[in-house]
């Protein structure tokens, strides 16, 4: 699925070619600007079994820079930051597909190339014994946890040959 074009802000400092599990790709424009996590809020989304966004809350829309209409129907990897290692998402999907809860620190990419850090928890939505989709809820991470995740992801990306 082709993602909508990013609208890189003037402070974008690098371009990164991203290829996703569904074979699609995009050229991401990235800045080093971090947006603060919205105090006291949860950033919530739901996807179908294929990772297509079916619900986003107001906090999700506001921080992403996209409109709700631009997000619904798009794959969740619209937020994928090129600094995130593939291994993190492989772990996420393997955990969810095993019917378990996943936690992790995630650097998400905004429409304008800036980013925000979250502590994400994703759970399978079980209805009548069947998994029908996934809910992801993000909270504010500590600076210490972000620093640790940055270092770990840098190593993982190096190991992935990125």
Partner 1 sequence: MTLNFLIAPDFAPERFAGWHMLNTVLQKKTDLHLHLLTPATAAEQSQLIADGNVDLVYANPFDAAEMVRNAGFVAIARPVGKPDEMVIATGAESAANSVEDLQPGCKIALTDNKDVKLIGLRLLEPADLTEADVQWQLVETYQAAARMAIKGEVDASFFLADAYHSLSRLSKSQLKPLVESHLADITHVLLLHPRVAEQAGKLQGALQGLAGSADGQPVLDELGMGAGFEAMSAEDAEFMIDLMDTLLS
Within residues 82-101, the interface with partner 1 by CB under 8 A covers 101
Binding to partner 1 by residue 35, rule CB under 8 A? no
Whether 39 and 54 have beta carbons less than 8 Å apart is answered as: no
For the chain, what's the residue count? 162
Binding to partner 1 by residue 17, rule CB under 8 A? no
Nearest residue (CB) to partner 1, 108 versus 136: 136
Q: What is the strand order of the sheet 130-139 is part of?
A: 53-56, 43-47, 130-139, 115-127, 102-109
Binding to partner 1 by residue 142, rule CB under 8 A? yes
Whether 81 and 110 have beta carbons less than 8 Å apart is answered as: no
Total of chain residues touching partner 1, rule CB under 8 A: 28
Q: Which residues bind partner 1 (CB under 8 A)?
A: 37-42, 44, 46, 57-58, 101, 103, 119, 121-123, 125, 127, 135-137, 139-145
């Amino acid at each position: 699925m082709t993602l909508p074009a990013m609208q890189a802000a003037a402070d974008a400092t690098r371009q990164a070619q991203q290829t996703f599990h569904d074979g699609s790709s995009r050229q991401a424009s990235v800045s080093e600007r971090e947006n603060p996590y919205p105090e006291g809020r949860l950033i919530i989304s739901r996807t179908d079994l294929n990772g297509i966004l079916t619900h986003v809350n107001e906090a999700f829309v506001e921080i992403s820079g996209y409109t709700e209409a631009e997000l619904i129907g798009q794959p969740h990897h619209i937020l994928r930051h090129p600094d995130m290692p593939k291994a993190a998402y492989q772990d996420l999907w393997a955990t969810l597909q095993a019917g378990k809860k996943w936690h992790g620190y995630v650097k998400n990419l905004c429409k304008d190339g800036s980013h925000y850090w979250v502590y994400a928890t994703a759970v399978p939505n079980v209805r009548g014994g069947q998994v029908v989709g996934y809910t992801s809820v993000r909270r504010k991470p500590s600076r210490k946890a972000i620093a640790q995740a940055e270092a770990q992801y840098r190593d993982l990306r190096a190991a992935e040959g990125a």
